[in-house]
Amino acid sequence: MPIDRVTLQILANHCAAATESMGHTLFRTAHSTFVKETEDFTTGLATPDGKTFASPYDLGATWFVGLDYGRAIELIDGYEEGDLCMTNDPYSGFVCTHSPDIHLWKPIFHEGKLVCFSVGHIHNTDVGGAVPASLSRANTDVHQEGIRFPPTKLYRRGELNRELVDVMLMNVRMPEQNWGDLKAQIAAMAAGERKVHEMIARFGIDTFREGVTDLLDHGEQQARRLIERIPDGEYFFADYMDEDAVDGKPCRIAVNMVVDGDEVVFDFSETDPQLTSSLNIPTGGDPRHVLLMVPYMYVMYTMDRSVLLNTGLLRPARCIIPEGSLVNPKYPAAVGMRSLGAMRLQSCVFGAFAQALPDIIPAACGDGGPLINVRTTDPRTGRHLMANLDPITGGAGAVAFRDGTEGSGANFSFLKNTPVEINEAEVPVRILRYGLAPDSGGAGRWRGGSGTTLEFQVFSPNSIVTARNRDRSHFTPWGMEGGHAGKPSSFFLNPDSNREVNLGNTDVVTLDPGDVLRISSAGAGGYGSPLEREPERVLTDVRRGFVSGESARTEYGVVIENDAVDDTATAELRGQMLAADGHRGFGYSEARKAFERVWTRGNYETLTGILAKVPAEWRFFVKHRVFDAIERMREDERSGQGQEVRRAFSLLAAEYPELAEHVAR
């Protein structure tokens, strides 16, 4: 029978504390900057069938709440005391989502019976593969993304599988980092085991077992009550990545969110096909896969900070994810940069929720800044060194009652910034600038949070920088209720010199001694009309460097002269601007507006309907050829209702008759 609510809450607190103890053990003993400083890791406790029932509230990668280890657990043939299992294969068990993430799970027994697992992952700086740090948009299949291990026993009855470790260390660029991080992770799993035995001693095995079930049930009940507060209806939204491949076409993720009573469905049927680049999101067809459910979990937590962070929250929600699409790719699609795809998916789902809950959901957060990895040589010792520098995050989107937070937004706000001194100690670089990107937040009654800028110099030849997740150069974060889109991200080699190069969304760069990189994320979207922002508040923004004097005039209608607001000129200018300002919906970048004048929803519906009928391996090719054909059409040949897509496909099918056969079926 269910245990009483007071005992259940006490047990929930103990479980969360156990996972936090695991997390502290991990990041205090880890070797790599990305774990011990940035905190890209998870810890948790999972049921015998793999459902996570406890997670930390403010430690590690909070976007992975709700991980399901079930399919990976099933691939191990029996568990014994002292076992410890691992995998980093995105296609074996679908708990791992790209190869740098090594997941461990340790069975915990009481009197010979399995009671739960301690679980968790870390992001390794490098696991081998085609490029340093293993990840690039240019990778075309998973085999280029480093060594992979299917679910296997790292420890068997307490004995380390040394051969397995040796194979891993032979195939990575910084073996001492990987081995140090793995040992820290092993220690975290042991800490979880100790804490579970302490809870069993305190509560008793029967209460612990029943409590775990009740925690998941209570999470479900909390979610259902929150969903009932969302107005029933259908809410459609789409967002874009700048490129679906190196120098490719725009990449669209679209969702139709259907809220019905205490349940919600996210239909991604209008999303692009799986890509030949590494932006695919590996879900294995799981309608509640954690990568799909991150934005839903964030909204639940936003609506009620007391919700239990466990898999039970996912039960009232599910996703429709067609096989062979970006959100459900088929092996061996590359998936290394699934974090960029997942970020855009989050933005997309937030846009759907924003229509249903405009008073609490913010505008799009700033992103498009990369996770920077530097592989270089110490000019004094000749040692090869590699480390992750700061994640270049964007600010938070503005909301109906305040400005967005500067430099820290929803998508990657769990990643901590690394002190400049640590960065310079890890690899021989000089940080020249690190701070907020001026004039980057979207204008609005409430201003979008500023992006961040990092500028650094290297000193050795053949220094390789990977800039994973470079994006938002064109399709910038959207504003709400008349708020403007955030300003674009940027990536420059040797800025402000006669050797300056705009690198766009390049994500692997080879540098010479003395070269400088400057990377800025996009700013977040604003909320409400900029003409409603108090002139004195705009003046404060200008003084602080958040807004330029030019933007104060052109976007806010505020005239500033001699460090003061010219009230007369401001009133006159705002009056002129107000006559032309009647927009209260989403605020999009000019690049998005131009793109959607051609690629309307009608055209995209037609395209995705056609792509669903052709073999998965043809879809990316067909999409690109159709795009090329429509780009060549005159404006009067485009209706926006799908006729031009059908015409472009018919020409392609005449060239490749097998395509016509599939669509005709």
Q: Over the stretch 98-129, which tens digit does the pLDDT of each residue have?
A: 999 999 999 999 999 999 999 999 999 999 99
Q: Considering the chain, what percentage of its residues have pLDDT values greater than 70?
A: 99
Mean pLDDT, range 329-341, rounded to an integer: 95
Residue entry with tokens 């725009």: 250
* Inter-residue contact 494 to 516 (CB < 8 Å): yes
**Model pLDDT, residue 366:** 94
User: Given pLDDT bands bounded at 50, 70 and 90, which one contains residue 59?
Assistant: confident
Query: How many alpha carbons fall within 13 Å on the CB side of residue 444?
Result: 41
Instruction: Return mean pLDDT, the chain.
Output: 94
Q: Are 505 and 137 in contact (CB under 8 A)?
A: yes
Query: What's the rounded mean pLDDT across residues 12-16?
Result: 96
pLDDT of amino acid 660: 78
Report the amino acid identity of residue 427. V
| 387/408 Cα distance (integer angstroms) | 22
What is residue 555's predicted lDDT score, i.e. its pLDDT?
96
Mean pLDDT of 450-475: 95
Residue 60, SS3? Answer: coil
AA identity, residue 487: K
Q: Which amino acid is at 556?
A: Y
Rounded CA-CA distance 609/604 in Å is 8
CA distance 257 to 352: 6
Structure tokens given for 473? 């150069």
DSSP 8-class letter at 527:
B
Element housing 652 (H / E): helix 643-655
In the three-class reduction of DSSP (H, G, I as helix; E, B as strand; rest coil), residue 594 is classed as helix
* pLDDT higher than threshold 90 for residue 57: no
CA-angle at 364, arms to 363 and 369, nearest 5°: 150
Confidence of residue 418 (pLDDT cuts 50, 70, 90): confident
Cα distance between residue 168 and residue 171, in whole Å? 5
Positions of E strands within 528-575: 560-561, 564-565
Banded pLDDT at 58 (limits 50, 70, 90): confident
Instruction: Determine the straight-line distance between the first and last CA of the chain, rounded to whole angstroms.
Output: 54
- Rounded Cα–Cα distance for residues 288 and 34 (Å): 28
Q: How far is CA 302 from CA 15, 297, 353, 407, in A?
A: 22, 9, 12, 19
Q: What pLDDT, on the 0 to 100 scale, is given for residue 582?
A: 67
Confirm if 379 and 362 have CB atoms less than 8 A apart.
no
Q: How many CB atoms lie within 10 A of CB 480?
A: 31
Better-predicted residue by pLDDT, 282 or 38: 282
Residue 417 in this model has a pLDDT that exceeds 90: no
Tens of pLDDT, residue by residue over 186-220, are 999 999 999 999 999 999 999 999 999 999 999 99
Report the C-alpha gap between 166 and 552 in whole angstroms.
Answer: 59
Q: What is the pLDDT of residues 344-356, one digit of tens each?
A: 999 999 999 999 9
Residue type at 106 in one-letter notation: K
Other beta carbons within 10 angstroms of residue 618's beta carbon come to: 17
Q: Give the pLDDT band (50/70/90) at residue 293.
A: very high
Segment 1-8 mean pLDDT? 86
CA distance 182 to 649: 50
Domain-wise residue ranges, the chain: 5-222, 364-529+581-586, 599-664
Task: Please tell me the least confidently modeled range out of 1-5, 364-368, 585-589.
Answer: 1-5
Is it the case that residue 66 has pLDDT exceeding 90? no
Identify the CA nearest to 290 among candidates 93, 473, 134: 93
Asked whether residue 581 carries a pLDDT value surpassing 80, the answer given is no
Which secondary structure element, helix H or strand E, spans residue 376, and what is its range? strand 371-377
- What span, in angstroms and rounded, lies between the C-alpha atoms of 121 and 100? 10
> How far apart are the C-alpha atoms of 567 and 407, rounded to whole Å?
31
Query: Tokens in use for 110?
Result: 């009481």
Q: Is the predicted pLDDT of residue 393 greater than 90, yes or no?
A: no
The predicted structure's pLDDT at residue 377: 93
The share of the chain scoring above pLDDT 90, in percent, equals 88
pLDDT of residue 571: 96
Whether pLDDT at 1 is above 70: no
Question: Who's near 580: CB < 8 A, 6+ residues apart?
Answer: none
Enumerate the β-bridge partners of residue 84.
Answer: 155
pLDDT digits (tens, 9 = 90+) for 626-646: 999 999 999 888 888 999 999
Q: Cis peptide before 250, with omega less than 30 degrees from 0? A: no
pLDDT, one tens digit per residue, over 428-462 is 999 999 999 999 999 999 999 999 999 999 999 99
DSSP notation for 187-231:
HHHHHHHHHHHHHHHHH-HHHHHHHHHHHHHHHHHHHHHHHTTSP
Backbone angles phi, psi at 40, to 5 degrees: -90, 80
Which DSSP symbol is given to 365?
Answer: P
